[in-house]
Amino acid sequence: MEHKPLKEYWSKRDFKITSEPKGKVLAKEMDRFVVQEHWASHHHFDFRLEMDGVLKSWAVPKGIPYKKGLKRLAVQTEDHPISYIDFEGEIPEGQYGAGVVKIFDKGKYKLIRRNEKNLVFKLEGERIRGEYSLLKFKEPNQWLIFKLN
């Protein structure tokens, strides 16, 4: 999607104003995920996976499905820095994504399969557990997330 993984993230934010981390691309262990609940102009959940030195990110309006067979829309958003995995707080009015962010769940994941249009992984969180798939169904950034097991 981009050569500089965090360029879009940085360009959308003023770090003198928001308390979100500026962060950087890291080369380290890549096995955590987070789901952040975000009361922005539209309430949604942000699902993020540590991958390629950043947090690959999707906005999931209705949240990660708990039940096998449920499909939920997941819109891929800009890569976030790894340090965003711990972010909670209020993004000030006028800033991109203004509103409260709270961690809904966090844990480890195991990657099972990965290609350009499909990710399969097992989530081991406190609230969200099981095997999931993300499937890209429409360019440029429309995915579906569903529970396999």
Shortest distance in whole angstroms from residue 113 CB to Mn ion: 26
State the Cα–Cα distance between residues 37 and 87, nearest whole angstrom: 11
Instruction: Compare residues 50 and 78 and give the one whose CB is closer to Mn ion.
Output: 78
Least Cβ distance, residue 39 to Mn ion (angstroms): 9
Q: Which is nearer to Mn ion, 38 or 72 (CB)?
A: 38
CA dihedral 28, 34, 37, 42 (to 10 degrees): 70
Give the shortest CB-101-to-Mn ion separation in angstroms: 7
Q: Does 78 bind Mn ion (CB under 5 A)?
A: no
**Pick from 5, 9, 23, 46: which binds Mn ion (CB under 5 A)?**
46
* CA–CA separation, 38 and 44 (whole Å): 5
CA distances from 87 to 42, 47, 80, 110, 138 (A): 19, 13, 11, 22, 30
Q: Which residues bind Mn ion (CB under 5 A)?
A: 38, 46
